[in-house]
Structure 1
């Protein structure tokens, strides 16, 4: 290609290049307020999900942002996030073993909670039932649920 041909393509390539360099959106603050803990034993393990993939596996591996905080009468956590759709799952790991303990029937022996506080029946809720939009600073209040 001649220099002249290249100079004709340059004005067309410049807008495409500029489109790919848009700045990332400013982070917003997600505050998670937890209610209903039955004790201050152990930890609360939170997972902030940005995708329905593998939701909720309890470990937050690869698809979410994990966070562990000490259990207390009042638990509040604030996180900076990019605007978008999210869901939160959490467990009250009372014995501190890093996992959700269940009985022989698979019923959780420790507390669980999800954003949007969906009604829990015989399985974990879907991402769609727990998702919420974070477009500006947002507070999500989650009630812990205990089955045993």
Structure 2
């Protein structure tokens, strides 16, 4: 009976420990300077494989309201990521461009750079470790 109880206890503890290892952090993204209530704010958390190529690994679509928008992603695993955000004022679910190639709508991206061309993952990447993280972006 003691062996059975011990085995059940060890098994239960191993499931508990594995569940804790798989829990990620909370990523809070603060988007400053939303200028109007037109359309929606589209945002995405990307890894190197999805950046500028595919659908984000996590995304959000929030009604635009002037001021500040706070987006929270739970259980994000440690690693390198990039974050992009677009104020889709006309709700067509894409970035619109001027004839000269400049964006018509407000956007922001993680990283400390001033792009004159499409950004690369290395331009926009940031690292998530084991602690909750806050990221501030400004339109």
Which of the five TM-score ranges fits, normalised by the shorter chain? 0.7 to 0.9
Alignment check: 8 A CA contact 2:50 2:57 kept: no
Bigger fraction of residues in strand = 2
CA distance in 1, matches of 2:95, 2:62: 15
RMSD: 1.9
Q: Decide which structure has the larger Cα Rg and report it.
A: 1
Partner of 2:134: 139
Query: Once the two structures are superposed, what CA deviation does each residue of 1:29-71 show, in whole Å capped at 9, x if it has no partner?
Result: 0000001222121111101002x235224xx42x532211111
Partner of 1:29: 26
For the residue of structure 2 that corresponds to 1:109, the secondary structure is coil
Aligned-pair distance for 1:117? 4.2
Query: Once the two structures are superposed, what CA deviation does each residue of 1:110-137 show, in whole Å capped at 9, x if it has no partner?
Result: 011101242121x221111111111110
How high is the TM-score relative to the length of structure 1?
0.72
What are the ranges of 5 or more consecutive residues in structure 2 without an aligned counterpart? 1-17
Partner of 2:49: 53
How high is the TM-score relative to the length of structure 2?
0.76
